[in-house]
Amino acid sequence: MILTGKAALVTGSTSGIGLAIAKALAAEGAKLMINGFGDPGEIERECAELGAIHDGADMSKPDEIERMMKRCADELGGPDILVNNAGIQHVAPVEDFPPEKWDAIIAINLSAAFHTTRLAIPAMKAKGWGRIINTASAHSLVASPNKSAYVAAKHGIAGLTKTVALEAARDGVTVNCISPGYVWTPLVEQQIPDTMKSRGLTREQVMNDVLLAAQPTKRFVTPEEVAALAVFLCRDEAASITGANLSMDGGWTAA
Ligand code: NAD
């Protein structure tokens, strides 16, 4: 167990990639604060399984983020490991993109990471050890139509990652982002039946020709693969990896 004695906060960890990262960090002995929305009973079960505490801060609200960060410091003495993962999506052409959706995506997918980072980094620097891992996306490197806010936020988080990495480079704090392609999460799985119906396609066609159109491996990344890379970034052997945008996209951005 390489993370015994470390405190980790994973935002958006009641589902999908964040949940997998939380499980992987807990398996390595980290004390954990999880965050995100969901069924209270499910969240309670997750907390019991991981020995975690849950904070339901809405990541679009800076005052709630401040309260959560203070609680994490008071109750866990951290975070030593901060994973900025909470994210939402909305798909529409730019001329039809609802301004409130733009604001929400920028707030949750980008500004929340600024707030958690600015609040976490003084203690990390003082301890001389810290890990900040941002869940970006292939969309931090390339665009797709109809995803203006998401692509802007993900390009933004890649820039935030590089900047903070430079600022913290001599303090034992590394700052990186992981950029997955399509990841097999409940969110993605739930889209399949609707797309089959609306486009008259088979399950196989939806997966290969719609979802995995840009992913040369023609297979989904798994949340566990992303989590394994996050754990590696916490190791002492990863101390020189900082400011990196680590693609895990089945070759998408190599094309
Ligand atoms: P998901 O919908 O399964 O999980 C999102 C999590 O964020 C949930 O725990 C949800 O409760 C939480 N969340 C949403 N809004 C929140 C808010 N306002 N405050 C606090 N928590 C909030 O999605 P996922 O696929 O696991 O995505 C996680 C991250 O990975 C996101 O940043 C997403 O952009 C990124 N990502 C996903 C994929 C993919 O294909 N699934 C690919 C690349 C990047």
Tokens of 96: 């039809």
Mean pLDDT of 86-101: 95
Residue 13 falls inside a structural domain? yes
User: Does the pLDDT of residue 199 top 90, yes or no?
Assistant: no
pLDDT for res 194: 82
Helix axes 148-167, 99-106, angle to 10 degrees: 20
Q: Ligand 1 centroid vs 126 CA: distance in angstroms? A: 30
pLDDT of 105-126, one tens digit each? 999 999 999 999 999 999 999 9
* Ligand 1 near 144 CB (within 6 A): no
pLDDT of 172-186, one tens digit each? 999 999 999 999 997
For residue 22, the enclosing domain spans 7-183+221-254
Mean pLDDT of all residues belonging to the chain? 96
pLDDT for res 186: 77
* Ligand 1 near 142 CB (within 6 A): no
**Residue 124 maps to which CATH number?**
3.40.50.720
Q: Which segments within the chain are labelled E, that is strand?
A: 7-10, 31-35, 52-55, 81-84, 130-135, 173-180, 245-248
pLDDT for res 188: 82
Residue 209 falls inside a structural domain? no
Residue 32 falls inside a structural domain? yes
Residue 19 falls inside a structural domain? yes
Mean pLDDT of 121-149: 97
Residue 195 falls inside a structural domain? no
pLDDT of 64-73, one tens digit each? 999 999 999 9
Residue 206 falls inside a structural domain? no
Q: Please pick, among 102, 150, 220, 252, the residue that the annotation labels catalytic.
A: 150
pLDDT for res 126: 98
User: Does the pLDDT of residue 154 top 80, yes or no?
Assistant: yes
Residue 197 falls inside a structural domain? no
User: Does the pLDDT of residue 191 top 90, yes or no?
Assistant: no
The structural domain count of the chain equals 1
Residue 245 falls inside a structural domain? yes
pLDDT for res 197: 86
